Structure 1
Amino acid sequence: MTKVRTINNYTGIDTRSAIGTVDHPLANMDHAPTISELCKVFLKDGVALAVNASRKALHEAQLSPLDITHVVSTTCTNSANPGFDHFVCKELGITQPVEKVLLHGIGCSGGLASLRTAANLALGSSFRKRRARALVIALEISSLLVRSELDSINDSQDTRIGVTLFSDCASAAILCNGFGGVEAEPVYELLGWDNRVIADTEHDLGFDVDPLGWKVVLSPRVPKLTSAAVSPTFNKLLQSLPKLPPHYKTASDFDWALHPGGATILSGVEKAMNITPEHMRASYDTYINHGNSSSATIFSVMDRLRQKDMDKLAPDGKAKDFVVGCAFGPGIVIEMCMLKRNMSHIQRTLVVESGEATPSHTESERSEGEAGQEIEIQIEMGSMEGKDEELGEKLRDMHPEVPQQGDSLSEALNGVELD
């Protein structure tokens, strides 16, 4: 436990977001909560979180729930049937027939995997000359798993570090295919994507089911494996996008939205791709202030990157039009996409009353038109303003040497990357 507490001080995380405080009843029982008890909280507090995130996305996209044609969702912290997406749709008032897909077993790569799935569904709709308005939802409630992990540390005397990294989050995005006109300007345009599996790594990263929740599986190989996979995936993605401007050729020409699985995943990708912390400023900001929320985190990073205070921290003070999104998951899987940021986009902030998100529910027009050339992603989430100077100082001093305190601690710190 002493080792885990020491590691906690070196994760680089200042605060982690959670649905409750350290006094939450389920975290302070004389036993760890069962999957059944965890599921009840997930379907109550987690679904409420996802509903609010979805309302924010709908509001910024200027859409009604009745406009939605597809729902693609993901989680690795619940396995109820029907899935949580059923209850989110019910709460939002999505009563029309929609095509729903719930992805499981893909952990931190789930956010981009859901986006990729929604994009392929939208392309299918375009082929059939149909309108597609896909709601993409990622929801993870990890905080209440801490009780079971602490028991495992105590009982097995293993240095389990998942307890030092994970947090809670719900994220949502709207992806449109352009048929029937676009209700709002896109935040990003999705230009292309790629995904691949690193061979013979299924035992290096995972999240195994247990009667008391889920248990993190992690090997010290993860940072090297993930950083080595980025360059070939990035090169393959660039080859599939020949119409990019000629001055976008190398990794440092782009901004990066990398899932912050851990500090050495971020630093490992920096070294492998010859980029700086400033290229991944939104990833560091999200990691420092919120921790790792598994699949939902990548959308938090994408949302944070488009905030104007982040632009001040860009390399040479110039934010990039094109953004590389990247995340890793069990398998080990790497998901990557290319986004074009709408630099002139003005965020539409949702009015919040009594702690609940309350968007306008005016139904948009549904006339069919010609298909657009790109798929558009529209995102709105919570933002953190006024922290640019503090973050700038942290980015300039992002890789301090960790004092050596024994071989086992050194190994654990080197393996701090988790899905």
Structure 2
Amino acid sequence: MATDTFGELGLSIIGLGAQYPPNNLKSDELATLAARFHPESPAMQRVLSINRFTGIETRSSIGTSEHPLVNNAAPPSIADLHATFMSDGVPLAVEASQKALAEAHLDASQITHVVSTTCTDSANPGFDHYVAKELGLAQSVEKVLLHGVGCAGGLAALRTAANLALGHRFRGRPARILCVALEISTTLVRSELESIDKTQETRIGACLFSDCASAVILSNGVGEATVEPVYELLGWDHRIIPDTENELGFDADPLGWKVVLSQRVPKLTEQVLEPAFADLMATVGPNLPETYQTAPDFDWAMHPGGLTILTNAERTLKISAEHMRASYHRYMQHGNSSSATIFSVIDHLRSKEMDSYAPDGRVKEYVVGCAFGPGIAVEMCMLKRNMGPRGVQTPPETDSEASRSEVGEEDDRDWTNPEEGKQLPSVPAEAPSEEMRNETTAPTREEEFVNEALASVDLD
């Protein structure tokens, strides 16, 4: 066994795991539900048109358009949503955590803290209590559950874990911190469709969001040595864009949670990328090699809140789609799973599959992670990838494998239709080239309004 740190802070990610549910929703699933429960209307047609041009091929979900939860006369209540979150979501979080524990070669008893996040449930005790119980963590484990951080939740959890780890280091104590993000978003589809029908607003949350659980384990390097790190956490930057709390949010409603979104969001997030990166580099840049100074020098793990978020980042930072290859691939294959997406992207980035699409064939040793959340909050971090065997998935995990349990069996929970619960074949990976992106937004007259809507209405 080797020491689990090779940096100034001594903070290392030693295990990662992502778990997607078995159903892969195509765009026609949303149209099916809309036609089943609502009459045609201009707003509904606009949303369904946008749904065909998001760049998402499939969205991961705990069910399909035939699931009982979304087929009652009325949309499900918060109580109904919570019951499904617990029955179908918590097992995903347990499986993702087990993957991270297995890679870290840690026993559950060695976990000292749990930092969790979700924006699709709000019960007390939180879901982290039940994940800890299922994993068999010690009753003395210190738990923190973050709320109100939305899509930035994954990196907010990592930042919180880092500060806890440094606090334990100051006290001379080991910290092995499990960070867990869990989102069950697709169950909100009926509520969103009802809002579209009643308000005639163009609400595209039902087009983008998906379900996922993901986990990382952060070590502070104190105590018994563990396996070599997968990534080293070098530093982070957190900020709030002033006077933007009404621009992006997620409000409680009797029928779930409602996205609060203004047309200014894409522009606001685009404008903050360069100053946030500059501040991060002011902290960690002096300790980096001379070849890592500008944005294109790094690989980027950008939260894929929407296609516009990624394309705006390319233009602003002067990077290519290949720099964000794992972000594009997760977005295309699984959609936006809110807080759980970023750990999945960071995990996928170090796969051999993604290495084959590195810009100019050169994988970057340093990676910038970035996500946006309500507030508007901006989370950014700097990671150093272990370029040895520990930094690469061997063999690389495929999307099919990511949707299976630890023992490699397909999910055998009781879906409404047993055939719907079977894992669909994984879609072969394709380089996220400009041609591919242009293909999803062909400039026909009928689609021009779709492109305009996607440019001005986006979710992070």
TM-score, structure 1 normalization: 0.89
Q: Deviations over 1:44-85 (max 9, x none)?
A: 111111000000000000001100000000000000000000
Name the CA distance, whole Å, in 1 between partners of 2:315 and 2:442. 16
Conserved 8 A contact 1:251-1:273: yes
How many residue pairs are counted as aligned between the two chains?
Answer: 391
Structure 2 residue identity aligned to 1:332: I
Conserved 8 A contact 1:220-1:411: no
Instruction: Give the corresponding residue for 2:320.
Output: 276
Instruction: Give the corresponding residue for 1:171.
Output: 214
Structure 2 residue identity aligned to 1:290: H
Instruction: Give the corresponding residue for 2:187.
Output: 144
- Give SS of 2:61's match: coil
User: Quick check: 121-130 or 201-210, which moved more?
Assistant: 201-210
1:338 and 2:379 correspond: no
Deviation at 1:23, TM superposition (A): 1.0
Q: Choose which of 1, 21, 31 in structure 1 pairs with 2:64.
A: 21
Instruction: Give the corresponding residue for 1:110.
Output: 153
Structure 2 residue identity aligned to 1:418: L
Q: Choose which of 422, 431, 438 in structure 2 pairs with 1:392.
A: 431
TM-score, structure 2 normalization: 0.82
Matches within 5 A, 1:42-81: 42-81=85-124
Name the CA distance, whole Å, in 2 between partners of 1:356 and 1:181. 35
Name the CA distance, whole Å, in 2 between partners of 1:23 and 1:348. 37
Instruction: Give the corresponding residue for 1:255.
Output: 299
Q: Deviations over 1:104-134 (max 9, x none)?
A: 0010000000000000000000000100000
Instruction: Give the corresponding residue for 1:377.
Output: none
Structure 1 residue identity aligned to 2:138: T
Relative to structure 1, the CA distance from residue 306 to residue 386 in structure 2 (aligned partners, 3 Å threshold; closer, same or farther) is farther
Relative to structure 1, the CA distance from residue 254 to residue 406 in structure 2 (aligned partners, 3 Å threshold; closer, same or farther) is closer
Instruction: Give the corresponding residue for 2:335.
Output: 291
1:322 and 2:366 correspond: yes
Deviation at 1:96, TM superposition (A): 3.5
Name the CA distance, whole Å, in 2 between partners of 1:27 and 1:138. 24
Conserved 8 A contact 1:186-1:345: no
1:264 and 2:303 correspond: no
Conserved 8 A contact 1:309-1:386: no
Relative to structure 1, the CA distance from residue 88 to residue 393 in structure 2 (aligned partners, 3 Å threshold; closer, same or farther) is closer
Name the CA distance, whole Å, in 2 between partners of 1:356 and 1:7. 31
Relative to structure 1, the CA distance from residue 168 to residue 128 in structure 2 (aligned partners, 3 Å threshold; closer, same or farther) is same
- Give SS of 1:352's match: coil
Q: Deviations over 1:343-396 (max 9, x none)?
A: 213447885154479xxxxxxxxxxxxxxxxxxxxxxxxxx98834xx226454
Name the CA distance, whole Å, in 1 between partners of 2:172 and 2:233. 19
Instruction: Give the corresponding residue for 1:415.
Output: 456
Name the CA distance, whole Å, in 2 between partners of 1:132 and 1:194. 22
Instruction: Give the corresponding residue for 1:352.
Output: 407
Relative to structure 1, the CA distance from residue 289 to residue 119 in structure 2 (aligned partners, 3 Å threshold; closer, same or farther) is same
Instruction: Give the corresponding residue for 2:6.
Output: none
* RMSD of aligned alpha carbons: 2.0
Relative to structure 1, the CA distance from residue 225 to residue 353 in structure 2 (aligned partners, 3 Å threshold; closer, same or farther) is closer
- Give SS of 1:240's match: helix
Name the CA distance, whole Å, in 2 between partners of 1:353 and 1:392. 27
Consecutive unaligned residues of structure 2, counting only runs of 5 or more, are 1-43, 396-404, 413-424
Deviation at 1:300, TM superposition (A): 0.8
Q: Choose which of 224, 238, 247 in structure 2 pairs with 1:204.
A: 247
Name the CA distance, whole Å, in 2 between partners of 1:206 and 1:108. 10
Name the CA distance, whole Å, in 1 between partners of 2:92 and 2:384. 28
Deviation at 1:262, TM superposition (A): 0.3
- Give SS of 2:216's match: strand
